[in-house]
Amino acid sequence: MGLVGAGANTRDRHIPGFRAIPGVELVGVVNRSHESTVRVATEFGIPKAYADWRQLVEDPNIDAVCIGTWPNLHCEVTCAALAAGKHVLTEARMARNVAEARQMLAASQAHPHLVAQIVPSPFGLVPHTWLKSIIDGGFLGTLREVVVLGADDMFWDYSKLLHWRQDNEISGLNVLALGIIHETLCRFIPAPTRVFAQSSIHEPLRPHPEQTGQVPVTVPDNVQIVTHLPDGARGIYHISGSVLFGPGKQIHLYGSRGTIKYLMAPEEQIWTGRAGDSAMRLIDLPAAERGGWRVEAEFVGAIRGQEKVQFTDFPTGVKYMEFTEAVAKSAATGVPVELA
């Protein structure tokens, strides 16, 4: 394995995850600067520190590449790695826009013998099998309404430095946690066929993280979305990083026979209720029915031919990129956008 980018998720999840798998060796790393590359290599005992990501991708001693950079490099590094014959695990979000995502998908389809995987949304992995089984089993009845909440105070303090998620040149068209929550939702219900969105930026300037002065914020602070689903259900999304005492991250599914509320953060909880119940109840999921994070094991298992990628393959990534781009287009034009 070679690591291109070694941010928090790579250090906290991917490095320990790969090291726990017999037969996997982390042989090289390259980070944003020479200093940080050497620091990561030293801290984790990785033998080779590269000066440039292209050198790592072209190294014949590396079989697979884990891309932990910001989204602005995902497309370029992914396509180069696949062209060099490397399996690819790239951090989410998949890319900055649909054009880049489709380019990545085409590159993976040109090399079908190579594994191409996106780091999935971590939400919903623990209750996935149980939730999917009760939804597919008709717990909800006919789905009527969907409510998606992702509102907190992450970017409420406008004196703080511009975050990369607020710079569309780096992060692309996705707004805050929209893509990661929508990806989670679409594991359980059909994707929407139509979106109508509005968004705003409350404070247009932020201090630059690497130089003096202020720079424009180019990603909205909030977005509200109305969606149509193929079976006639309707959805409402409230995504914001600028509200005090907001609801956090939640998904509500309202059906003709029952309701499911999935609270993702700060504490993962599932509440259910059906017609005839006096109140909703908190589900205590049995240990035997709990899933969890196994991204690195799934990637290596797919390379070894032991399993297929479930969370998350490139076609799935393109689908959530199409949704986030449709939201951005609707918010910019003030008109609904149809999705295939």
- Which CATH number goes with the domain that contains 282? 3.30.360.10
What is the band of 12 on the pLDDT scale with cuts at 50, 70, 90? very high
Confidence (pLDDT) at 219: 95
Q: Which residue has the tokens 């929209």?
A: 178
- What is residue 265's predicted lDDT score, i.e. its pLDDT? 80
Q: Which domain holds residue 39?
A: 2-119+296-311
| 267 and 157 inside one domain | yes
C-alpha closest to that of 264 among 166, 149, 162: 149
Model confidence at 283: pLDDT above 80: yes
Mean pLDDT of the residues in the chain: 95
Co-location of 84 and 109 in the same domain: yes
Q: Are 67 and 10 in contact (CB under 8 A)?
A: no
Residue 325 lies in a domain: no
302 and 202 in a common domain: no
Q: Say yes or no: 79 and 205 in one domain.
A: no
With 80 as the cut, is the pLDDT of residue 138 above it? yes
Query: Residue 115 pLDDT > 90, yes or no?
Result: yes
79 and 202 share one domain: no
Residues 94 and 155 in one domain: no
Q: What is residue 304's predicted lDDT score, i.e. its pLDDT?
A: 97
How far apart CA 102 and CA 318 sit, in angstroms, is: 6
Q: What are 83-108's pLDDT values in tens digits?
A: 999 999 999 999 999 999 999 999 99
CA distance 340 to 333: 19
Rounded average pLDDT over 164-191? 94
What CATH number should be reported for the domain holding residue 33?
Answer: 3.40.50.720
The residue among 185, 21, 325, 24 whose CA lies nearest residue 3 is 24
Residue 210 in this model has a pLDDT that exceeds 90: no
Quick one: average pLDDT of 26-35?
94
What pLDDT, on the 0 to 100 scale, is given for residue 237?
Answer: 98
Is position 322 within any domain? no
Does residue 52 fall inside a structural domain?
yes
Would residue 239 count as lying in a domain? yes
- Confidence grade of residue 211 (pLDDT, cut at 50, 70, 90): confident
Residue 162 lies in a domain: yes
Given a cut of 90, whether residue 314 has pLDDT beyond it is: yes
pLDDT greater than 90 at residue 17:
yes
In a shared domain, residues 10 and 108: yes
Helices 314-333, 98-109: crossing angle, 10 deg rounding: 160
Segment 306-318 mean pLDDT:
96
Q: What is the 3-state secondary structure (H, E, C) of the chain?
A: CEEECCCHHHHHHHHHHHHCCCCCCCCEEECCCHHHHHHHHHHHCCCEECCCHHHHHHCCCCCEEEECCCHHHHHHHHHHHHHCCCEEEECCCCCCCHHHHHHHHHHHHCCCCCCEEECCCCCCCCCHHHHHHHHHCCCCCCEEEEEEEEECCCCCCCCCCCCHHHCHHHHCCCCCCHHHHHHHHCCCCCCCCEEEEEEECCCCEEECCCCCCEEECCCCCEEEEEEECCCCCEEEEEEECCCCCCCEEEEEEEECCEEEEEEEECCCEEEEEECCCCCCEECCCCHHHCCCCCHHHHHHHHHCCCCCCCCCEHHHHHHHHHHHHHHHHHHHHCCCEECC
pLDDT at 7 (0 to 100) = 87
- Let me know whether 21 and 168 are in one domain: no
Is pLDDT of 147 > 90? yes
Band (266; pLDDT cuts 50, 70, 90): confident
Structure tokens at 128: 């996935």
Q: Are residues 246 and 166 in the same domain?
A: yes
Same domain, 84 and 25: yes
Domain count, the chain: 2
Could you give the C-alpha distances from 79 to 73, 97, 114, 188, in angstroms and in order? 10, 15, 12, 30
pLDDT, residue 52, reads 94
pTM attached to this predicted model = 0.93
Residue 258: per-residue pLDDT: 97
Same domain, residue pair 61 and 157: no
Per cent of the chain over pLDDT 90 is 95
Within-domain flag for 217: yes
Please name which of 283, 327, 294, 225 lies closest in space to residue 17, comparing C-alpha atoms: 294
The pLDDT value given to residue 181: 97
Burial of residue 102 (number of CB atoms within 10 Å: 0-12, 13-18, 19+): middle
Amino acid at 249: K
